[in-house]
Amino acid sequence: MQPLEFLHTAEDLWRNGIREADWRSSISRSYYAVYWMIGEEFLKTMPLILLQSVSLARKKDHLVHEKLPMVLKGSSDAKIQELGEALENLRLARVKADYHLASAISQVKAEDEYGNATDLRDELQKYGVLNLATVVQRDLQTVHGVSSPPKIR
């Protein structure tokens, strides 16, 4: 499965959903589409030891949700900082949708977050996810003084 397939599910859920649970799930799927779009590239291209040294990964197949936007926002590249802010906003919307059940979520909110996710997807594709991973890896190595040995997994 490709991460962006989650966006198709998110769209179906906000367009055709009739329950709040559908709209909450749409927000969650919207976030996961872009989280995995970035995450797969980071996990594929960056050495695990580097990801672990900055607490971005605990194991080889998962990035820490709270850390990913922070790492992006800490980049030397202003565009990556913007992308990190957009991802953080989506993450917070997902947390509210998944965990704050007393707060109402509307179909309009689900549509808005789906739109935010598609905008972020478009910006990531324009910037290039591999390019993003390359710049972030360089930033992490520079700022944290971590050199990355050849990638062995």
Q: What is the CATH number of the domain that holds 137?
A: 1.20.120
Domain for residue 150, yes or no?
Answer: no
Pair 116, 24: CB distance under 8 Å: no
Phi-psi region of 145 (alpha: psi -120 to 50; beta: other; left: phi over 0): left
More confident residue, 58 or 119: 119
Owning domain of residue 73: 5-142
Q: What is the pLDDT of residue 147?
A: 61
Element at 97 (helix H, strand E): helix 78-99
Residues 43/136, Cβ–Cβ less than 8 Å? no
148 belongs to a structural domain: no
Helices (H) and strands (E) in the chain, counts: 7, 2
| Cα–Cα distance for residue pair 133/87, rounded to 1 Å | 15
Structurally, the chain folds into a number of domains equal to 1
Residue 93 lies in a domain: yes
Cβ atoms of residues 153 and 50 within 8 Å: no
In a domain, 125, yes or no: yes
| Lowest-confidence region among 9-23, 112-126, 130-144 | 130-144
Other residues' Cβ atoms within 10 Å of the Cβ of residue 42: 20
Average pLDDT in the 76-102 region?
Answer: 98
pLDDT digits 0-9 by tens, 127-153:
999 999 999 999 999 876 666 554 444
pTM given for the model: 0.92
